[in-house]
């Protein structure tokens, strides 16, 4: 039995009360699903700025007795009273609530700061006041900014190139300060490019994988920003769930630790596009040979990203189990099965 399975067994044998912020979102709903499946009591907080009620309904419907062990609060992390209220009698916080997207942060830096910096600070203070045992929070590979070093190692970061990247860096610094001054155990997880089922393909700021899948399912051209040789470390969401569970219950190296969460591999946008197109073309032969629309590079984007996962593997026993291609295959199947529902929701919102 590996470390992840050992901790899952320990969690299942000793149920606790968890708080997941951003619970109706992509990653938050996967964390909720895992925790309910392990017999835990979960408090979930979300304001539906980027999350969806259907994500919560999908999770609760698929977990026996899940509804009885899940308490949902509709609220905003920018409200300190709400943060304190939901943190009461909680053992562990998994803080996922944020406004993602580099382009969105450039268009509205004030909102980015209010949610990602002030909101995270509110949650840290609330957790400290409520006596939470450990606070695990979502950071981002965006904190590496303009650092040219590959692979990205936790102790070498550059200068922020977007308000989003800076907001995540400030979140890390605030967590470090709260740990040093007040003793709250904090663990930061720098997510690289996470993908999988339930990732929203409909927003103007959608991540590249769900956005491209949606366009291809509609027979539309996908937009590539730049020459397509920009590369990313794409990570299936199951590995992010594993990292959160390990960080929540594992023996950390010391206070205020930060770990990369990725696959430790590079995929260019051109490679990604061909994999998505060819995967869908099996059942949709009209997609074969469809080429993307190449446009200018996007402001704030970094050229290459690759996670060094040595630290989290060594310290926490993190072990990615799903290869990139297999993760894409699963993701394509999920979106293809639900494409009609997603389009119907799009029309109803419009």
Q: Return the biggest CA–CA distance within the chain.
A: 60
> Rounded to whole angstroms, what are the CA distances from 2 to 58, 243, 310?
29, 13, 17
Residue 333: name the closest of 199, 197, 220 by CA: 197
Q: Distance between CA atoms of 244 and 197, rounded to whole angstroms?
A: 18
| 335 tagged catalytic | no
Residue 73: burial class (beta carbons within 10 Å; 0-12, 13-18, 19+)? middle
Q: Distance between CA atoms of 280 and 268, rounded to whole angstroms?
A: 19
Per annotation, catalytic residue among 144, 164, 318, 335: 164
What is the set of active-site residues? 164
């Amino acid at each position: 039995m590996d470390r992840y399975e050992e901790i899952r067994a320990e969690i299942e044998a000793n149920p606790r009360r968890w708080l997941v912020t951003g619970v109706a979102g992509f990653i938050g709903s996967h964390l909720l699903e895992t925790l309910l499946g392990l017999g835990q009591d979960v408090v979930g907080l979300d304001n539906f700025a980027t999350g969806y009620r259907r994500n919560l309904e999908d999770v609760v419907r698929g977990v026996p007795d899940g509804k009885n062990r899940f308490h949902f609060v509709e609220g905003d992390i920018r409200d300190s009273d709400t943060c304190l209220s939901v943190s009461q009698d909680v053992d562990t916080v998994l803080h996922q609530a944020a406004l993602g997207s580099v382009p969105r942060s450039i268009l509205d830096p004030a909102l980015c700061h209010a949610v990602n910096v002030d909101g995270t600070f509110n949650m840290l203070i609330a957790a400290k006041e409520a006596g939470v045992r450990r606070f695990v929070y979502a950071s981002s590979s965006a904190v590496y900014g303009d650092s040219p070093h590959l692979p990205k190692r936790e102790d070498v970061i550059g200068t922020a190139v977007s308000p989003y990247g800076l907001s995540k860096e400030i979140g890390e610094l605030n967590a470090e300060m709260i740990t040093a001054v007040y003793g709250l155990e904090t663990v930061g997880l720098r997510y690289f490019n996470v993908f999988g089922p339930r990732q929203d393909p409909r927003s103007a700021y959608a991540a590249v994988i769900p956005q491209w899948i949606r366009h291809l399912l509609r027979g539309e051209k996908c937009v590539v920003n730049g020459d397509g040789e920009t590369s990313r470390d794409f990570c299936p969401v199951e590995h992010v769930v594993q990292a959160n569970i390990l960080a929540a219950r594992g023996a950390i190296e010391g206070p205020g630790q930060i770990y990369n969460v990725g696959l430790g591999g590079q995929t260019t946008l051109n490679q990604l596009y061909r994999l998505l197109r060819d995967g869908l073309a099996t059942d949709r032969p009209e997609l074969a040979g469809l080429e993307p629309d190449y446009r200018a590079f996007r402001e704030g984007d970094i050229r290459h990203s690759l996670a060094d996962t040595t630290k989290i593997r060594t310290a926490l026993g993190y072990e990615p189990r799903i290869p990139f291609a297999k993760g894409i295959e699963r993701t394509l199947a999920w979106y293809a099965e639900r494409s009609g529902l997603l389009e119907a929701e799009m029309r109803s919102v419009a």
